[in-house]
């Protein structure tokens, strides 16, 4: 499994593309977690889960550093916790 690519032609992904990749990796991580619940001896699935989780954390950190925190707790909490209020609310988006 290759490391997840968060660059696009050596340029940082847009906010929307970065969020899309975070969503994809989150789904993948949950799916692998469920698979591992039923197949705890699968070394390939465990290796994939570790890689996906690491890549997901990297993308979340990049997002938080560039666009503000994704969560009000955890790793994103190390940045300005209240910057999320400056962004449009979901119903205000285009």
Rounded distance between C-alpha atoms, residue 54 and residue 28, angstroms: 12
Q: Parse the chain into domains and list their residue ranges.
A: 14-19+26-92
Model-level pTM? 0.71
pLDDT score of 17: 94
What's the whole-number average pLDDT of the chain? Answer: 82
pLDDT score of 22: 96
Q: Are 70 and 63 in contact (CB under 8 A)?
A: yes
* Contacts (Cβ under 8 Å, ≥6 apart) of 6: 12, 13, 18, 21, 55, 58, 59, 62
Place of tokens 């660059």: 7
Rounded distance between C-alpha atoms, residue 1 and residue 33, angstroms: 17
Q: Over range 74-91, report the average pLDDT.
A: 64
Q: Are 6 and 60 in contact (CB under 8 A)?
A: no
Q: What share of the chain is helix, strand, coil (3-state, %, to 5)?
A: 65, 5, 30
DSSP letter at 83? G
């Amino acid at each position: 499994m290759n490391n997840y690519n968060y660059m696009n032609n050596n340029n940082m992904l847009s906010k929307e593309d970065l969020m899309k990749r975070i969503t994809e990796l989150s789904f993948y991580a949950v799916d692998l977690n469920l698979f591992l619940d039923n197949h705890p001896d699968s070394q390939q699935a465990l290796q994939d889960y570790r890689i996906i989780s690491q890549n997901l954390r990297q993308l979340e950190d990049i997002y938080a550093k560039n666009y503000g925190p994704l969560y009000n707790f955890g790793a994103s909490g190390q940045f300005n916790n209240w910057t999320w209020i400056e962004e449009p609310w979901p119903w205000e988006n285009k």
